[in-house]
Amino acid sequence: MLNSIVIATANKNKFEEISQILKGITPNILSLQDFPQIEAIEENGSSFQENSLIKARNVFGETGLLTLADDSGLEVDALNGAPGIYSARYAGEPPDYQVNNRKLLQDLHEIPDHQRAAQFRCVVAIVGPKIEQVVEGIVTGRIIRELRGDKGFGYDPLFVPDGFEQTFAELGEEIKNQMSHRARAFLKARKILEDLAD
């Protein structure tokens, strides 16, 4: 059994979502809110993988505890993979979901429906005393032309996953959390943690 692990996020919603996926792995799942001394970590990598490793290595270095860190975002084929690692700040600072969505719709205004393929990608880095590993989760879909639904956040109201007619923001957390990029990546991470705990 693992004693404690740290999820390298201060985002309460994200922490709860990840904690559900990792339930039962360890009695203590901690977040960055448990370590106020850790200053904001500059994610200056050029890929999701680099950014997640920067976070995980930094927090492991500060705490000495097995750390999981993720970096994720939206990649749109017609925009050559943008917004990508800049998903949260696509329209600039400060990060604003609504402004980002407006910019995305504007940038895709001329793109026909059949060329609006996109994917959410999540990369999770696991860093601990005897491990440094990276796993990835992807969910493919398309970007629609207007915001629909109010249950999600970020680009959820514009993203329809393959096999569905509703956006992530219409499907709601329960369905989204079973199939999202983050769920897929953290389920792979869970498997690695289970093997470590054996």
Put residue 3 in one of left, alpha, beta given phi > 0 → left and psi -120 to 50 → alpha: alpha
DSSP strand pairing (28-31 vs 4-7): parallel
Are the C-beta atoms of residues 151 and 173 closer than 8 Å to each other? yes
Cross-strand pairs, 155: none
Q: Which of 9-13, 149-153, 187-191, 193-197 has the highest mean pLDDT?
A: 187-191
- pLDDT one-digit tens code per residue, 113-136: 999 999 999 999 999 998 999 999
Distance CA 83, CA 65 (A): 32
Q: Which pTM does this prediction carry?
A: 0.92
- pLDDT one-digit tens code per residue, 132-178: 999 999 999 999 999 999 987 899 999 999 999 999 999 987 888 88
Catalytic site residue from 70, 71, 96, 156: 71
Which CATH number characterizes residue 64's domain?
3.90.950.10
Task: Give residue 1's pLDDT.
Answer: 59
Handedness of CA 70, 74, 77, 83 (dihedral sign): negative
- pLDDT one-digit tens code per residue, 62-93: 999 999 999 999 999 999 999 999 999 999 99
Q: What's the number of domains the chain is made of?
A: 1
How many Å from the N-terminal Cα to the C-terminal Cα in the chain? 7
Residue identified by tokens 């996020």 is: 9
Q: In terms of residue numbers, what domain contains 49?
A: 4-197
195 is catalytic: no
Distance CA 104, CA 138 (A): 20
Mapped to the 3 state alphabet, what secondary structure does 42-64 carry?
A: CCCCCCHHHHHHHHHHHHHHHHC
